[in-house]
């Protein structure tokens, strides 16, 4: 069965986020006041596995091995059936 996978990757609390700081400063220069700026990377793909549990385990392994650095990143996995 095919599943849609969505992985949201963000820096762990306490990690410096220069990209978010730059965005916040640029918005301030444009006259927008924002607080708590954060950046999140979203990766979406389709995976073919026997069931949702196996698909989630495979995506978790992908995150641990390639998609993010577990030392500095948190990640959230969402798996849904591909009904197309």
CATH number for the segment(s) 2-81: 3.30.1280.10
E strands, the chain, in order:
2-11, 40-48, 73-81
Domain locations in the chain?
2-81
35 or 53, higher pLDDT:
53
Reported as a single tens digit per residue, the pLDDT across 21-52 is: 999 999 999 999 998 888 999 999 999 999 99
Q: Taking phi first (over 0 means left), then psi (-120 to 50 degrees means alpha), and beta for anything else, what does residue 26 get? A: alpha
**How far is it, in rounded angstroms, from Cα 2 to Cα 22?**
39
Among the residues of the chain, which ranges form H helices? 18-29, 52-62
Given a cut of 90, is residue 84 above it in pLDDT?
no
- Residue 2: the pLDDT is 97
């Amino acid at each position: 069965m095919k599943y849609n996978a969505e992985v949201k990757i963000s820096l762990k609390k306490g990690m410096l986020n220069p990209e978010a700081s730059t965005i916040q400063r640029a918005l301030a220069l444009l006259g927008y006041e924002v607080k708590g700026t954060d950046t999140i990377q979203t990766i979406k793909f389709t995976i073919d596995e026997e069931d949702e549990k196996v698909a989630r385990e495979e995506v978790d392994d992908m995150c641990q091995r390639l998609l993010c650095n577990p030392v500095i990143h948190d990640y959230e996995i969402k798996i849904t059936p591909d009904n197309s």
